[in-house]
Amino acid sequence: MNQFWVRVLVVLTVILGVNYIAWRWLESLNWAAWWISIPLVASETYSLIDVALFGMTVWRIKHRKPLPAPPDATVDVFITTYNEPAQMVLDTALAAKAITHPHSTWILDDGARGEIQALAEEHGIGYLTRSADWTDRPRHAKAGNLNNALMMTQGEFLLILDADQVPEPEILSNTLGYFSSRRIALVQTPQYFINVPDDDPLGSQAPLFYGPIQQGKDGWNAAFFCGSNALLRREALMQLGLVGYVKEVETGVRKALKASRTAIRRARKSPEAADPLVAGLLNEVEGATARARVELKAGGSLSEVTYRVRQTVDHAVQALVGSDFSTLEADLAEIAAMELDGGDGFNLPAEELDEAIERMSHRDWSPLGALESVQAVLDAISIERHAEAQPIMPLATISVTEDMATSMRLHAMGWQSAYHHEVLANGLAPEDLKTMLTQRLRWAQGTVQVMLRENPLFQKGMKASQRLMYFATMWTYLSGFAAVVYFAAPIIYLTLGILPVNSISTDFFVRFIPFMVVNQLLFAVTGRGIPTWRGQQYSLALFPTWIKACTTAARNVWFGRPLGFAVTPKARQDGGPGWSLIRPQLVVMALLVVALIVGLVRLAVGLNEPVGTLVNVAWVAFDLVVLSVLIKAVKYEGFVPNERIREHAVQHGA
């Protein structure tokens, strides 16, 4: 019955929202103040799309039935760690070792600490760290740590836990049954934190996400991997790694062949190309690249195709080596600038390879210079992938967060996922504002990276509903830009008297108020009593974090600017109150208060309209209430344990 009312409210919300936004675009815009009017209606349109995506998510909330018996299979429990306290890692590892279902427990120590290794050996727990192959090669943070462990273990299923996520003994017994279906590749369970007080000042608990949202995504077969407290099928991951490897190599080969043909054609413009020998060799190489492209399109072997092209290019280079060309010195200097030689044969990371191909296809070469550049780039995409520690990377490495991209690729390959709504591991949330902001920034950056690199809306293999479910999560991180407009609009009216609408009339109220009321009812009914207000506050209050995540991720994807990987500290960071961390929000709060005072003064002297002032005063009051959560967050001094922790965890896992 609850699901019926959820769907009724979804339909009403969308209808009323479309009615309101259509009226805003068609009839209400104040073109005299277009500079605030257009951004505001665009932000409102963004919010309507966000609400519609949420409505679609909860349309098919899935309540899983009792599971069949767990399959008779081997399981590896991976505990990922980098610099967490040794006792914390040991506590999690001992709890993992005590899991009742047969398994092997491994500590994946990316910090290669002797202390952790000694503790593991003392307690009979497996210990893994990076092999020597990773030296001076991209490490890919947590994804690289897990990929390394995958190549050193054999379990058919993997339970992945962060260093602070202490598992319950029944975690495998209560979840392995999902894998009785051969198409299930992932089972995600909630992340719940035991060091969070009831008022949750940092917004650490996510009862709406680890509840109706993940259950709704599960209904569309789009529940995704959240980095910890998840079980994965090794077969699916290895298939993902192999397919990804082939795709990356094939993409590199296609790019190189296309750029090679361009370079050869440019080389024909040089005076030396008039020589019959030179012209014949250029024709031979161009023909070889053209045949290779046809063979690849027909499904030919990558290794055989690239080998034949390289043989042709090598022969042509040898034939021209003895020739004396005036531009040879400059061309060879350009080739050297490509920095293709990695010391173990020519090989490049993807970003540098793209840069080399770009330079090759846009520069005017001499014949020998063109052939040398073609030779270098083809060698750089050799299928051996010497620049990587291991050619097969099962977990995605395109983002600082490996989880969402990995599960998205699994779904695109036809694998299925499940969300198990039961707390089976208890973790530690950030206990100070700085740590929380570091964590949220990394989550947002990783999600935006995935959106820019592998936008789910354009991924083959997934159903339209799955694409929208992934896109819905990515879409929410764009809210920072809309928040700036929502703060600016009432400030502008109260201080300057400029309305972004023609007038605040009856037409406005009869459209806006029903939409907002039904929208809030949708959240209330969907949540079924779970607290959602704190999450709504932080979705707006952290607007500088969301904007920074979008801009830094875009610079990383488009211009190669590094992001780094910030491990979330598991202990409170000292340093006193973090007022400087929320400076933008404090400025906004001050502007809102000033606008409130100025607006009331302007009303008293007749410069502002009563109705417009009342609406915007209410708007300012709402914004201040939302932002006030940060005052509490700055003053938060950490969690004080109590005897109700375990009972509280059990209640939230119901």
- The helix or strand, by DSSP H or E, that contains position 287, with its residue range, turns out to be helix 276-297
Cβ atoms < 10 Å from Cβ of 269? 10
283 lies in some domain? yes
- Its pTM stands at 0.85
Cβ atoms < 10 Å from Cβ of 528? 10
- Domain match, 208 and 298 both: no
Task: Give which of 424, 389, 396 is closest to 411, Cα–Cα.
Answer: 396
Residues 6+ apart with CB under 8 A from 598: 494, 495
How do residues 356-405 score in pLDDT, each as one tens digit?
666 666 666 677 677 777 777 776 665 566 678 788 888 888 777 778 99
Residues 6+ apart with CB under 8 A from 55: 10, 13, 14, 522
- Domain match, 366 and 409 both: no
501 lies in some domain? no
Which pLDDT score is estimated for 341?
46
In which residue are the tokens 């400076």 written?
Answer: 583
Using an 8 Å Cβ cutoff, are 195 and 39 in contact? no
Residues 6+ apart with CB under 8 A from 23: 507, 511
CATH number, domain of 136, equals 3.90.550.10
> CA 615 to CA 596: how far, in whole Å?
11
Task: Give which of 531, 583, 555 is closest to 205, Cα–Cα.
Answer: 531
- Domain match, 142 and 234 both: yes
- Domain match, 90 and 228 both: yes
In which residue are the tokens 């922790």 written?
Answer: 645
DSSP SS3 for 81: strand
Which parts of the chain register pLDDT below 50? 326-327, 341-347, 643-646, 648-654
How do residues 562-607 score in pLDDT, each as one tens digit?
876 556 665 566 666 689 999 999 999 999 999 999 999 999 999 9
571 lies in some domain? no
- Domain match, 92 and 230 both: yes
| Token couple for 188 | 């995600």
Q: Helix/strand/coil (H, E, C) string of 324-378?
A: CCCCHHHHHHHHHHCCCECCCCECCCHHHHHHHHHHHHHCCCCHHHHHHHHHHHH
Q: What region, left, alpha or beta, does residue 573 occupy, with left being phi > 0 and alpha being psi -120 to 50 degrees? A: beta
DSSP SS3 for 283: helix
Q: Distance of alpha carbon 147 from its chain centroid, rounded?
A: 18
> CA 579 to CA 650: how far, in whole Å?
35
Which pLDDT score is estimated for 648?
46
How do residues 607-647 score in pLDDT, each as one tens digit?
999 999 999 999 999 999 999 999 999 999 888 765 444 45
Total tally of structural domains belonging to the chain: 2
Q: What DSSP letter does each residue of 526-571 carry, written as one string?
A: HHTT---HHHHHHHHHTHHHHHHHHHHHHHHHHH-------PPPSS
- Domain match, 126 and 260 both: no
* CA dihedral over 571, 574, 577, 581, signed as positive or negative: negative
- Domain match, 203 and 302 both: no
Which pLDDT score is estimated for 37?
96
10 Å CB burial of residue 598 (0-12, 13-18, 19+) is middle
Q: Distance of alpha carbon 327 from its chain centroid, rounded?
A: 47
In which residue are the tokens 């590749």 written?
Answer: 185
- Domain match, 236 and 268 both: no
In which residue are the tokens 């060698």 written?
Answer: 379
Give, in order, the Cα–Cα distances in Å from 372 to each of 290, 336, 341, 361, 382.
18, 10, 13, 13, 16
Secondary structure percentages of the chain, helix, strand, coil, to 5: 60, 5, 35
- Domain match, 362 and 219 both: no
581 lies in some domain? no
- The helix or strand, by DSSP H or E, that contains position 48, with its residue range, turns out to be helix 34-58
Task: Give which of 7, 166, 51, 40 is closest to 502, Cα–Cα.
Answer: 40
Using an 8 Å Cβ cutoff, are 285 and 371 in contact? yes
- Domain match, 280 and 318 both: yes
Beta-bridge partner residues of 546: none
DSSP SS3 for 104: strand
408 lies in some domain? yes
512 lies in some domain? no
In which residue are the tokens 């040089």 written?
Answer: 270
Q: Edge-to-edge strand order for the sheet containing 157-162?
A: 126-128, 104-109, 75-81, 157-162, 230-233, 184-188, 416-419
- Domain match, 186 and 132 both: yes
Which pLDDT score is estimated for 321?
66
Residue 120 belongs to domain spanning: 75-240+399-431
> CA 436 to CA 632: how far, in whole Å?
13
- Domain match, 253 and 227 both: no
546 lies in some domain? no
307 lies in some domain? yes
